[in-house]
């Protein structure tokens, strides 16, 4: 099997396995994407939300109205409470398996509920920092090359096994993406917000 065939199969497998856990927020070009983290909970970026309620579009096309359960504006995280139905929660990367430069990654999004996008890239840097929505410096981010369209923030970046390594947050020049690292701290904050 050629490298391109293996890559094609990997992208398809990640889309099939992780795609049902990725949701769209808003409508059309809408607000962004999010991930199902547990029954009744969607994790996304705080900058994706404009009000206390948001339309959530699931992979099967079902729409529901979600309410903001908690917001960490300094960390650019938010949790939405909504009936998740059969949508499965994502699988997190295991503690201590942080990506290194060159790690193959897959980025997923459902921008504004317009359908799943799955792209391939490589980790280009780790330990990056940026300013959050309120100007606070956020450290420890993952920079990767998997291209994403507008409305993709809040979607996951995963490894080849479909385990979440980060939450896509900012598009940089040169089509690079910064993702909040899905480390133990992020997961603890997400649980607290829920």
Query: Which of the residues are catalytic?
Result: 47, 76, 153
Q: Which helix (H) or strand (E) holds 115?
A: none
- Sequence-ordered list of residues with C-beta below 8 angstroms from that of 1, at least 6 positions apart, any chain: none
Going by C-alpha positions, the residue among 61, 67, 54 that lies closest to residue 26 is: 54
The pairing of beta strand 63-72 with beta strand 137-144? unpaired
| Nearest-5° Cα angle at 130, 110 to 41 | 40
Exposed/middle/buried for residue 127 (C-beta within 10 Å: 0-12, 13-18, 19+):
exposed
Asked if 132 contacts 165 with a C-beta cutoff of 8 angstroms, the reply is no
The pairing of beta strand 163-171 with beta strand 91-92? parallel
């Amino acid at each position: 099997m050629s490298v391109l065939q293996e890559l094609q199969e990997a992208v398809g497998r990640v889309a099939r396995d992780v795609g049902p856990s990725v949701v769209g927020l808003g409508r059309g070009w809408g607000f962004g994407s999010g991930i199902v983290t547990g029954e009744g909970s969607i994790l996304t970026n705080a900058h994706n939300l404009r009000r206390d309620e948001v339309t959530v579009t699931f992979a099967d096309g079902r729409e529901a109205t979600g309410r903001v359960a908690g917001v960490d504006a300094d960390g650019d995280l938010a949790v939405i409470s909504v009936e998740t139905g059969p949508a499965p929660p994502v699988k997190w990367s295991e503690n201590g398996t942080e990506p290194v430069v060159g790690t193959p990654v897959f980025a997923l999004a459902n921008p504004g509920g317009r359908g799943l996008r799955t792209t391939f890239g490589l980790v280009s840097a780790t330990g990056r920092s940026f300013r959050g929505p309120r100007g606070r410096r956020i450290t420890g981010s993952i920079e990767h090359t998997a291209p994403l369209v507008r409305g993709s923030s809040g979607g996951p970046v995963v490894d080849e096994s479909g385990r979440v390594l980060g939450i896509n947050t900012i598009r940089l020049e040169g089509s690079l993406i910064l993702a909040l690292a899905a480390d133990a701290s992020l997961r603890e904050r997400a649980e607290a917000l829920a």
